[in-house]
Structure 1
Amino acid sequence: AMENYQVDIQLLGLGGNGHIGFNEPGTSFDETTHIVELQERTRKDNARFFDNDINQVPTHAITMGIATIMKANKVLLIATGENKADAVKAMIEGPKDTSCPASALQDHKDVIVILDKAAASKLTK
């Protein structure tokens, strides 16, 4: 009932495991806004915002689901660093599969991806 709005531009980062928002690998592409349990890698990646203490990092988050993200008119995704290179390759060149949630964006009508050389380093096409 809360999904009757239009997002004009959706700004996304990319998790090292391919997550967008906090839609971890395995999340259905049909999911709308929901509560998620964060994977350990995601919690470790975010510990820098919590004095590098994983015990302070939340175990759950509320996130826009992939179906909600896909409704945006335009998507702008930014990824930097070598630790994102595998996820970038899976997002752009891999199959559309829930193992890389960002791969759902292959079906979006208007996506801009901004990468540094390190994040783009494994692209082959």
Structure 2
Amino acid sequence: MNVRVFANELEAATACAGLVAAAIREKPSLVIGLPTGRTPLNVYREMVALHRRGELDFSRVTTFNLDEFLGLPPDDPGSFRAYMERHLFQHVNLAPERIHFLDGSAERAERECARYDAQLAMAGGLDLLLLGIGSNGHMAFNEPGENLQSASHRARLSRDSRQSLASLFGEDVSRVPLAGLTLGMGALLQARRVVLLAFGVNKAAAVTGMVRGPLTTLCPASFLQLHGNVEVWVDTAAGRGLEGSR
């Protein structure tokens, strides 16, 4: 892993948006995996700013979001699809047919997950994957446990994950759905390039476990150690346990 420690979150977000822009200029038909939550908010703001300045063209880009809440339709204000519309999609020139999302309101979750995996395979997999990490080491909705799943699947959300997402539901954790649909570990680890962002002292233990700990299903992000092209971008607080890492 290539670890880079930034002075602050905004500096990292600006650099990440610049990396995305450069990747799209190099390959205008880039297939990119996108996260939600608090971590990427400044990245999306910077990407929108680059687009408005004419420095970032999304017209041929294809996106796959990593996860969605089970039971929420795309137009629910708390859904990840609504989050992406608010913070990125409605502000840039992404073609609607190139935006891909798991449908949390699908009648059969297993069939929906299979459909999503097939769509991603048809697109050729992810060229670039942007990731966050949960305080418990989860990636997307791949939570710690006795085992991890390679394919997209239904996942029960940990209390840590639900608490971190309460801001989407008026800070009321009881309103956060108990489960979600998520890309599996296979799609994440097969991405050709991964950039993982982590900010704040509450992410420090997870980041240290991911980079320096053993491979374990109790820290799903630790499996990124097996990937050949991972960049871990953190602020000083999240990187406090990584002194001396490169």
TM-score bin, normalised by smaller chain: over 0.9
- Normalising by structure 1, what TM-score? 0.93
Alignment of 1:69-108 (within 5 A): 69-108=188-227
Higher relative contact order (CA 8 A, sep 6+): 1
Moved more, 56-65 or 84-93: 56-65
What RMSD, in angstroms, separates the aligned Cα atoms of the two structures? Answer: 1.5
- The secondary structure found in structure 1 opposite 2:154 is strand
Alignment of 1:6-45 (within 5 A): 6-26=125-145, 28-45=147-164
Show the counterpart of 1:122: 241
**AA aligned opposite 1:123:** L
- The secondary structure found in structure 2 opposite 1:28 is coil
Q: What number of residue pairs does the alignment pair up?
A: 125
Deviation track 1:72-93 (CA, whole Å, cap 9, x = no partner) reads 1001100000000000000000
Alignment of 1:54-69 (within 5 A): 54-69=173-188
- The CA deviation at 1:10 is 0.9
**AA aligned opposite 1:10:** L
Write out the 4+ residue segments of structure 1 that deviate beyond 6 Å after TM superposition.
none
* Mapped contact 2:142–2:148 kept (Cα < 8 A): no
Q: How far apart, CA to CA, are the structure 2 residues paired with 1:24 and 1:9? A: 22
* Mapped contact 1:43–1:57 kept (Cα < 8 A): yes
Structure ranking higher in helix proportion: 2
- The secondary structure found in structure 1 opposite 2:217 is coil
**AA aligned opposite 2:242:** L
Q: Max radius of gyration: which structure?
A: 2
* Mapped contact 2:137–2:219 kept (Cα < 8 A): yes
Q: How far apart, CA to CA, are the structure 1 residues paired with 2:161 and 2:229? A: 27
- The secondary structure found in structure 2 opposite 1:112 is strand
**AA aligned opposite 1:85:** A
- The CA deviation at 1:29 is 4.5
Moved more, 3-12 or 79-88: 3-12
Deviation track 1:58-81 (CA, whole Å, cap 9, x = no partner) reads 111111111110111001100000
**AA aligned opposite 1:31:** S
- The CA deviation at 1:51 is 0.5
Deviation track 1:65-122 (CA, whole Å, cap 9, x = no partner) reads 1111011100110000000000000000000111100000000010111100000011
* Mapped contact 1:29–1:104 kept (Cα < 8 A): no
- Flag structure 2 segments of 5+ consecutive residues without an equivalent: 1-113
- The CA deviation at 1:28 is 3.4
Q: Alignment identity in percent?
A: 41
**AA aligned opposite 2:154:** I
